[in-house]
């Protein structure tokens, strides 16, 4: 059996990482003897011709796509193209959006055959075992589908995998890691599944359970050690709450140190789960930044959204991070229940005073969240169900006391100030004025990203005509010359970028016949 998994487009501005969920699912399927291919439309442009080529070359039995709310419409449009190429192909969707919007998806999109709800590995594998026997679908927990009478059926939910240590490492060999590395994006790993909290704006505990299930310490560090050798700038531990169990977190940190692994990493934490002792262990193991979801600078709003933290604990956690040398990144959500212009001002002021590194999102009432399902109770008016707008950067809902325009204005001012700062550095550089090392690094990283992005999206490596065999070849110079004929960047910048990509093992050069071709590793 062959399964094609789709990673739909997602904005580069959100710094996406290799498709962790798909790689985890693919590894589980491969362990059962199923052949899997991942089509990643983040680092490759989707075209109907590309889809046609994939179908003819790979000939999958099933096409499955993941998707979050903000890219679910793109996922659906791509799946539709595959279905039109072969009406007999079985199409499946999974991920947080369709888990909680399954009925509407099956009702409105007839080209979608099945939805896998919640944790996907066991459910999807069981479904594949009965792929062409709709009469057997009724016994498969965790799927939604249309029966023989075309009625929509939602089977009971599936129990979570009790021991996640049965899961293999994600199938990262199926992803184009070198392109993500070239863009300067991080690589993700997960050390546990589950979130014991039930914030009203999140579906995390519904997707992976409120009981935290842990991977064993040695397995975690084995995977960390593999990733540390891949030349990514940073490893992101993307557990909902890495610091949920203090002693286990310390064990992981100690094992990283015991093996002598030296690589920067970040994690998500709650302010009420860290202290100076734990943070010291984490710093010594290479943790450089912790991300805290503060959400609001107003205690009443925090209580209303069931965050179960206090502003005092926020201050204490950030102070402890600074004391041990870990950078505290804090994030906030504007437009939560109870929000007013005054509370937004208070949140902005609190953010500025709490940490130098902070950011704002706007409430997006995703399907499955309590705030959406109980919008009247929470006093939220939802303005649109156009999922493309649910990027948490623009207002799609409002409270009685603050308008969408006001929320957007605040976000625009914040984002505009960042853009103005970056532009000012470029102007400063152009005037020949000196920049600090941090400023130079920021400008350099932005330019490097822009060049790598264009190389990737224009498929300049894949379309390279090859270098003729003959006298000794300076491949870096040849590639720079080739890129300069297409890209609007100075040749010296392109030269530095080519050298960087070679040093990071993003590119290699291989002979085919009598010509030498650059290739993504």
Which of 342, 368, 315, 290 minimizes the C-alpha distance to 102? 368
Domain endpoint, select from 404, 426, 448:
426
Work out the average pLDDT over 57-77: 97
Strands of 122-183, DSSP E: 143-146, 152-154
What is the pLDDT at residue 468?
83
Domain count, the chain: 3
Say how far apart CA 23 and CA 378 lie, in whole Å: 37
Work out the average pLDDT over 375-397: 97
386 and 499 part of one domain = no
Lowest-confidence range among 118-132, 366-380, 409-423? Answer: 409-423
- Asked if residue 180 is part of any domain, the answer here is no
What is the pLDDT at residue 470?
61
CATH number at residue 450: 1.10.10
**448, 499 Cβ separation under 8 angstroms:** no
- Asked if residue 371 is part of any domain, the answer here is yes
Lowest-confidence range among 78-92, 231-245, 290-304, 419-433? Answer: 419-433
**271, 315 Cβ separation under 8 angstroms:** no
Could you give the strand order of the β-sheet that contains 152-154, starting from the edge strand earlier in sequence? 35-40, 2-7, 62-65, 90-94, 114-116, 143-146, 152-154
Other CB atoms within a 10 A radius of the CB of residue 495 amount to 18
How confident is residue 423, by pLDDT bands cut at 50, 70 and 90? confident
- Asked if residue 80 is part of any domain, the answer here is yes
From residue 406, alpha-carbon distances to 75, 110, 207, 295, 422 in Å are 31, 39, 33, 18, 25
What is the pLDDT at residue 219?
98
Strand duo 35-40 + 2-7: pairing? parallel
Q: Map tokens 């975690």 to a residue.
A: 220
Number of C-alpha atoms within 13 angstroms, CB side, residue 421?
10
348 and 401 part of one domain = yes
% residues pLDDT > 90 (the chain): 89
110 and 202 part of one domain = no
How confident is residue 440, by pLDDT bands cut at 50, 70 and 90? confident
What tens digit of pLDDT does each residue of 147-160 get? Answer: 999 999 999 999 99
- Asked if residue 24 is part of any domain, the answer here is yes
Q: 239 phi and psi, to 5 degrees?
A: -55, 145
Could you list the residue range(s) of the whole structural domain that residue 66 is in? 2-154
Say how far apart CA 480 and CA 490 lie, in whole Å: 10
CATH number at residue 119: 3.40.50.280
- On the 0-12 / 13-18 / 19+ scale of CB atoms within 10 A, 38 is buried
With a cut of 70, say whether residue 519 has pLDDT above it: yes
473 and 441 part of one domain = yes
Number of C-alpha atoms within 13 angstroms, CB side, residue 161?
18
- Asked if residue 504 is part of any domain, the answer here is yes
Number of C-alpha atoms within 13 angstroms, CB side, residue 150?
5
The contacts of residue 127 (CB under 8 Å, 6+ apart) are 92, 114, 116, 137, 140, 143
Domain endpoint, select from 399, 426, 453:
426
238 and 294 part of one domain = yes
Strand duo 114-116 + 143-146: pairing? antiparallel
Q: Name the strand (E) or helix (H) holding 107.
A: helix 102-108
Looking at residue 469, what DSSP letter applies? S
490 and 515 part of one domain = yes
How confident is residue 45, by pLDDT bands cut at 50, 70 and 90? very high
With a cut of 60, say whether residue 228 has pLDDT above it: yes
From residue 6, alpha-carbon distances to 60, 75, 76, 368 in Å are 12, 8, 10, 23
Domain endpoint, select from 426, 448, 474:
426
- Asked if residue 179 is part of any domain, the answer here is no
414 and 448 part of one domain = no
What tens digit of pLDDT does each residue of 335-344 get? Answer: 999 999 999 9
With a cut of 60, say whether residue 3 has pLDDT above it: yes
124 and 203 part of one domain = no
What tens digit of pLDDT does each residue of 462-515 get? Answer: 999 998 876 567 899 999 999 999 999 999 999 999 999 999 999 999 988 888
What is the pLDDT at residue 373?
97
Work out the average pLDDT over 230-248: 95
What is the pLDDT at residue 192?
97
150 and 204 part of one domain = no
The overall average pLDDT reported for the chain is 95
Token pair for 181: 């590395």
CATH number at residue 202: 3.20.20.70
226 and 338 part of one domain = yes
From residue 235, alpha-carbon distances to 23, 43, 170, 190, 271 in Å are 16, 19, 14, 10, 21
What tens digit of pLDDT does each residue of 78-105 get? Answer: 999 999 999 999 999 999 999 999 999 9
Looking at residue 196, what DSSP letter applies? S
Work out the average pLDDT over 141-150: 96
What is the pLDDT at residue 200?
97
8 and 150 part of one domain = yes
What is the pLDDT at residue 471?
57
Work out the average pLDDT over 126-138: 94
Work out the average pLDDT over 410-419: 88
Token pair for 118: 């919640």
- Asked if residue 176 is part of any domain, the answer here is no
279 and 417 part of one domain = yes
Token pair for 212: 């935290």
- Asked if residue 431 is part of any domain, the answer here is no
What is the pLDDT at residue 12?
86
With a cut of 90, say whether residue 13 has pLDDT above it: no
Say how far apart CA 52 and CA 84 lie, in whole Å: 10
């Amino acid at each position: 059996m062959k399964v094609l998994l789709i990673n739909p487009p997602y904005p580069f501005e959100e710094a996406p990482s290799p498709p962790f969920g798909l790689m985890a699912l693919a590894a589980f399927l491969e362990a059962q003897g199923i052949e899997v291919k991942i089509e990643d439309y983040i680092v490759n442009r989707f075209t109907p011709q590309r889809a046609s080529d994939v179908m003819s070359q790979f000939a999958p039995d099933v096409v499955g796509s993941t998707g979050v709310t903000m890219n679910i419409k793109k996922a659906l449009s791509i799946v539709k193209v595959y279905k039109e190429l072969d009406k007999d192909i079985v199409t499946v969707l999974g991920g947080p959006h369709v888990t909680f919007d399954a009925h509407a998806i099956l009702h409105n999109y007839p080209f979608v055959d099945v939805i896998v709800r919640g944790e996907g590995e066991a459910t999807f594998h069981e479904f594949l075992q009965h792929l062409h026997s709709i009469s057997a679908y009724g016994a498969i927990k965790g799927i939604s589908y249309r029966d023989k009478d075309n009625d929509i059926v939602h089977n009971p939910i599936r129990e979570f995998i009790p021991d996640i240590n049965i899961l293999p490492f994600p199938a990262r060999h199926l992803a184009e890691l070198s392109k993500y590395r070239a863009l300067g994006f991080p690589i993700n790993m997960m050390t546990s599944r589950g979130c014991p909290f039930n914030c009203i704006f999140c579906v995390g505990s519904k997707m992976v359970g409120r009981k935290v299930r842990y991977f064993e310490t040695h397995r975690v560090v084995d995977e960390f050690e593999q990733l540390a050798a891949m030349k990514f700038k940073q490893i992101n531990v993307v557990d909902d709450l890495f610091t949920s169990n203090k002693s286990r977190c310390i064990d992981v940190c100690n094992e990283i140190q015991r093996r002598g692994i030296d690589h920067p990493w970040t994690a998500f934490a709650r302010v009420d789960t860290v202290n100076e002792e734990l943070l010291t262990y984490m710093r010594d193991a290479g943790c450089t930044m912790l991300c805290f979801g503060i959400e609001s600078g107003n205690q009443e709003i925090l209580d209303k959204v069931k965050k179960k933290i206090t502003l005092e604990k926020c201050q204490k956690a950030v102070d402890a991070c600074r004391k041990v040398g870990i950078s505290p990144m804090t994030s906030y959500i504007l437009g939560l229940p109870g929000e007013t212009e005054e509370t937004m001002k208070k949140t902005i002021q609190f953010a500025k005073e709490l940490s130098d590194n902070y950011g704002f999102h706007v409430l997006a009432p995703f399907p499955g969240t309590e705030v959406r399902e109980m919008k009247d109770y929470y006093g939220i008016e939802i303005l649109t169900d156009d999922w493309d707008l649910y990027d948490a950067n623009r207002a799609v809902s409002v409270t009685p006391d603050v308008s969408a325009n006001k929320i957007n204005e605040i976000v625009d001012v914040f984002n505009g100030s960042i853009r103005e700062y970056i532009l000012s550095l470029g102007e400063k550089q152009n005037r020949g004025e000196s920049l600090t090392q941090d400023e130079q690094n920021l400008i350099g990283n932005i330019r490097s990203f822009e060049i790598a992005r264009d190389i990737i999206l224009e498929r300049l490596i894949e379309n390279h005509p090859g270098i003729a065999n003959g006298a000794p070849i300076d491949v870096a110079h040849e590639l720079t010359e080739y890129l300069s004929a297409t890209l609007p960047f100075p040749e010296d910048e392109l030269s530095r970028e080519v050298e960087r990509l070679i040093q990071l093992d993003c590119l290699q050069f291989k002979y085919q016949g009598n010509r030498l071709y650059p290739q993504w590793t």
